[in-house]
Structure 1
């Protein structure tokens, strides 16, 4: 189940403390029919305080409750010998008012599986983003590592996808997937894959890639008429020109990732990854950016601690550096008791991004989060 949906703090504790899997914890329902039907989920709530400084000035300080609770359903039944039909429907996070908790918001698919592997159709994580998100985004590195880059060269959780996951071949597995990027854009298709190899029962190597054609960065804009502003007496004062018609901005993208996980003696662990990619605007410039993440962890019985650092290196467009590097350092203390995982996380985010005036905004965010999760 760990490869099916996005991991959270609970996923760390489950893996590190060797707890039962989410599948084992799920409850069976519908016992009056011959389908295997399960309900599973995560109850997760945290209170988080953001202390924000933008361009050297304090702009916002305050706290928020973030509700990441979600629920899902799984079912399956053998159709032929060595061919089982299975499905999953998973909600999104409840969020502030429940609007994000729509069923199907997270991994939702129909598939076939056997000892030959499994193939799925629907909404899922792409093979590359699955590795980006786990194990390298935790604890609290996602605002830079996951989605904070200035050059977009991969999807994350996406619909209109067909995906194949192989069985294990002596510790080696692979994933392949393809689909539409934006179904409203002709020719916008993507393809990606990942490979994983575990050896010595303590080290796992990861590699992944993703490529996309005709990705729409900006929509086409129609021409607009100009207009006059008027003085109080009705005289025309100033003419504002209309906007000229603009074609959609389309790009071809490519990205890759290499990384490792290592379970070390005495409860220690280490993981690290490097990813890079490019976005080539059709009939225009090419932008490139690289990132890396390093995470260390230590477990002593039910207590766990993780420390992570990630950085987006300065991007380049047509060979010109863009002064937009950013980084996050984050630490998290966890405790596992009867399936409950209380935790506290402290992070410093140093972020840069271009604003709508073409200038760089520098934002420093000090984050303190206290939460509790429980998987069922």
Structure 2
């Protein structure tokens, strides 16, 4: 799966509709009988994908559904929860409830704290905006070094309120629960400079990452810069110091790799265009360079109307240590509810 719309193409394009407090009588909203604020939400997303080295085209179904609820417990203490399914996929096996962010939390004007399964602060930056459109096969899950998690269970996460243009997030918890001494710590900071540019920074440390006897760390720095006349630019640098995937769970040798992403966009009314490039440098295993660098370039044309987002994406990559570059095409439709 291409993970291309984890927060949607334009954010507001699939904004979630909120519900009002339910009385003790049935309403028209999915028949919920509760005095909690309850919300069903989801994304319908289907695309046809073709890659020139594949056996043919494939319909990729990234539809998912989730449920949220909240209620005030005390003054300035609201208890909230969420359970969200994974993508449907080819056979529905990955679409179980709880695969994506599923947690219980407390929130108020002091911020919010959550416990359970959720994105780590660093990965939230990797995922958006730097892996879209179609750059994730290199900048996200296509790297050669395991150093950070994406969505992590068994953690607690705190998200601050805004302090002027500054917000930050912290996460801590277990790494691999079956390994003694395997723990996770993550942090991210976001700063809006004079309502002009937004800076992002993230850090993650994982002792005995995924149960392998390697202490891993990663960091990312990036920016988002709106430009006049509908243009915009975003770029990031990521560094991973952990264990090499090809050496995974055998000798646990130390490895490191640098990655880059840059995305330009242009919007004219409902029409949007994105052009992105991402690259992984050759990784180093115990200080020795490996011949495993890769890159991807991808362009996407989209149209936003009444919450619907049809799009066309075309690109070329040599990800996953391929010997030659291959061309890919994706045509899809997505909407949120």
TM over 0.5: yes
Matched, 1:274 2:237: yes
User: Match of 1:297?
Assistant: 265
- Separation in 2, partners of 1:29, 1:352: 44
Q: Where does 1:56-95 land on structure 2 (aligned, <5 Å)? A: 60-95=54-89
Q: Where does 1:28-47 land on structure 2 (aligned, <5 Å)? A: 29=30, 32-47=33-48
Contact 1:50–1:62 (Cα < 8 Å) also in 2: yes
User: Match of 2:304?
Assistant: 336
Q: Give the deviation of 1:8 after TM superposition.
A: 4.5
Q: SS in structure 1 opposite 2:157?
A: strand
Residue-by-residue CA offset, 1:119-166 (whole Å, 9 max, x unaligned): 000110000001000110000011111011111110001111100000
Moved over 3 A (4+): 6-15, 23-32, 280-285
Q: Give the deviation of 1:7 after TM superposition.
A: 7.8
Q: SS in structure 2 opposite 1:346?
A: strand
Contact 1:203–1:263 (Cα < 8 Å) also in 2: yes
Contact 1:10–1:375 (Cα < 8 Å) also in 2: no
Q: SS in structure 1 opposite 2:125?
A: helix
The 1:76–1:284 alpha-carbon spacing in structure 2 relative to 1, beyond 3 Å, is: closer
Contact 1:287–1:316 (Cα < 8 Å) also in 2: yes
User: Match of 1:210?
Assistant: 204
Q: Give the deviation of 1:283 after TM superposition.
A: 9.2
The 1:69–1:285 alpha-carbon spacing in structure 2 relative to 1, beyond 3 Å, is: closer
Contact 2:280–2:295 (Cα < 8 Å) also in 1: yes
TM-score under structure 1 length normalisation: 0.81
Residue-by-residue CA offset, 1:316-367 (whole Å, 9 max, x unaligned): 12221101100000000000111110000001011253xxxxxxx5253311
Contact 2:144–2:283 (Cα < 8 Å) also in 1: yes
Q: SS in structure 2 opposite 1:128?
A: helix
Residue-by-residue CA offset, 1:204-248 (whole Å, 9 max, x unaligned): 10000001112256xxxxxxxxxxxxxxxxxxxxxxxxxxxxxxx
Q: Give the deviation of 1:199 after TM superposition.
A: 2.3
Residue in structure 2 matching 1:14, options 10, 15, 20:
10
Residue in structure 1 matching 2:318, options 350, 367, 370:
350
User: Match of 1:225?
Assistant: none
- Separation in 2, partners of 1:20, 1:101: 20
RMSD: 2.3
Contact 1:13–1:336 (Cα < 8 Å) also in 2: no
- Separation in 1, partners of 2:159, 2:55: 44
Q: SS in structure 2 opposite 1:95?
A: coil
Contact 2:147–2:243 (Cα < 8 Å) also in 1: no
User: Match of 2:162?
Assistant: 168
The 1:339–1:63 alpha-carbon spacing in structure 2 relative to 1, beyond 3 Å, is: same
Bigger Rg over Cα: 1
Deviates more, 1:282-291 or 1:338-347: 282-291
Contact 1:10–1:341 (Cα < 8 Å) also in 2: no
Contact 2:280–2:293 (Cα < 8 Å) also in 1: yes
Q: SS in structure 1 opposite 2:329?
A: strand
User: Match of 2:135?
Assistant: 141
User: Match of 1:366?
Assistant: 327
Matched, 1:322 2:283: no
Q: SS in structure 2 opposite 1:131?
A: helix
Q: SS in structure 2 opposite 1:374?
A: strand
User: Match of 1:3?
Assistant: none
Contact 2:13–2:304 (Cα < 8 Å) also in 1: no
Gaps of 5+ in 2: 21-27, 245-249
Residue in structure 2 matching 1:129, options 123, 137, 143:
123
Gaps of 5+ in 1: 1-5, 53-59, 218-248, 354-360
- Separation in 1, partners of 2:194, 2:130: 21
